[in-house]
Amino acid sequence: MKHHWWRIFVSGILGLLTLVSLTAYFMRDNLFRELIEPAVPFQVDEPPPPPDYSDAAAWASRPQETRTMPRQTALRPANFGKADVFLIHPTTAWSGNTGWNMDISDTSSRTRLETIGLPNHGEPFASAGPLWVPRYRQAVLFALLSQRDDSHEALDLAYQDVARAFDTFRQARNPARPFVLVGIGQGGLHLLRLLLEKGDLGPKLAATYFIDQAVPTSLYQGSAAQTSFPKPCQNAQQTRCMLAFIELDGGDDWGEKIIKQRSTIWTPETGYRALNGQAIACVNPLTGSINRPNAPAISNRGSAAASGLERGTEPALLPAETGAICRRNLLWVEVNRPAALTKPRFELGTFYKITGYNLFYAALAGDVKTRVDAMDSLNTRPAPIKPDVP
């Protein structure tokens, strides 16, 4: 009899543990949000000091100075590569324990940027020219998971840094050179607002990239279209166009709902708000054309898991590991991939965090170089000889 009751007790404990584990798994999104939520309202939070973009310490990447210059003087980039790339990095500040905006000197967020963010998601664009990557007082991850006023104010503070960094970039670069704009994750949200506020940035803007950020189609088509906002690329050689996508594993219905309903966007009329099912742009990076939404795995020249690599180190490319298709406004990719190219399954918040790999590393590197080369070819092409007029 005692043995019988002991078996019932152990079975009960195991059942309770199973129930707790299943509850934690299915409620993991809410649990993660609770763990990273800032403890105080934004209004009483003491923000970190603003970065000084005349100081190299305020940049995660920036061309070296070509000559000694006073601190307040704009820097001129070294003359390598055909274009200058202004890249706004994704969120690398996950915990809100220190407030709504992260200090640029924070060790954890800097390490994630320099060992995960830049090697995987920044380096592909270095094929076009030097990277300008400002450190900014990024809003912590929770700010992108809610539509509270605190979240919007934190995003606004982060954007003000990005806007100042962009002004420094424009003053420092050679205006005769093409340039490229890249925004990834939170960086894409700031790039969206930057383009809408700055207006036409001139004929030297070779291409614009929004990665893992929703870009409403209403911004470039329809009665409410913004005349200066870039339109999706029609082919792989087109310049002055936009490549935008949010990738999602095939069959992830929950993820699709989260992206389409909760993604944060910014418009001049409403400021920050949720996407709420609005149609968004999708250009397949494997084809570089909105007119070619589907690409098989064989067309993927190489994914990469580049975490921890030093700047300028070429990662080992893994070709043909996944195809991609733009469908229902999202870029769907294949689920069966090597472990190095998949998110950890039992880590909280992996859906929202930057990945330690890039499924389209080679494709993006080739895409940006092709568009910059095309613009350079147009700029250097000799003018046609006009016939003599008698």
State pLDDT tens for residues 251-265: 999 999 999 999 999
Q: Beta strands 179-184 and 84-88: pairing type?
A: parallel
Distance of CA 357 to the CA centre of its chain: 13
CA 66 to each of CA 74, 134, 178, 311: distance values in angstroms, whole numbers, following the listed order:
12, 19, 19, 20
Q: What type of residue sits at position 90?
A: P
CA 179 to each of CA 60, 133, 203, 230, 283: distance values in angstroms, whole numbers, following the listed order:
18, 13, 10, 14, 20
Q: Which long-range contacts (CB under 8 A, 24 or more apart) does 310-319 make?
A: 311/61, 311/118, 311/119, 311/123, 312/123, 312/126, 313/119, 315/119, 315/123, 315/361, 317/361, 317/362, 319/362
Q: Is 237 helix (H, G, I), strand (E, B) or coil?
A: coil
Q: What's the pTM value of the predicted model, to 2 decimals?
A: 0.88
Q: Are 185 and 157 in contact, with CB atoms under 8 Å apart?
A: no
* DSSP H or E segment with residue 179: strand 179-184
Q: Check the CA dihedral 229-234-239-243 and report its sign.
A: positive
**Confidence at residue 24, expressed as pLDDT on a 0 to 100 scale:** 43
Q: Are 168 and 121 in contact, with CB atoms under 8 Å apart?
A: no
φ, ψ of residue 282 in degrees (nearest 5): -145, 115
Write the Ramachandran bin of 11: left for phi over 0, alpha for psi from -120 to 50, otherwise beta.
Answer: alpha
Q: Tokens 């067309």 sit at which residue?
A: 299
If we measure between CA atoms, which residue out of 149, 146, 155, 259 comes closest to residue 213? 259
CA distance 386 to 26: 71
Q: Name every residue whose Cβ is closer than 8 Å to that of residue 52 and which is 6 or more positions away in sequence.
A: 58
If we measure between CA atoms, which residue out of 272, 301, 282 comes closest to residue 365? 301
Q: What type of residue sits at position 214?
A: A
**Confidence at residue 74, expressed as pLDDT on a 0 to 100 scale:** 36
Q: Are 360 and 305 in contact, with CB atoms under 8 Å apart?
A: no
Q: Is 367 helix (H, G, I), strand (E, B) or coil?
A: helix
Q: Which residues of 243-271 are buried (b: 16+ CB within 10 A; e: fewer)?
A: bbbbbbbeebeeebebbbeebbbbbeeee
In terms of DSSP H, where are the helices of 218-304?
253-262
> Which ranges of the chain have pLDDT less than 50?
17-27, 66-79, 382-390
Write the Ramachandran bin of 308: left for phi over 0, alpha for psi from -120 to 50, otherwise beta.
Answer: left
If we measure between CA atoms, which residue out of 352, 287, 270, 289 comes closest to residue 324? 287
**Confidence at residue 2, expressed as pLDDT on a 0 to 100 scale:** 52
Q: What type of residue sits at position 172?
A: A
Tell me which DSSP letter residue 314 carries: P
* DSSP H or E segment with residue 325: strand 324-327
CA distance 278 to 230: 18
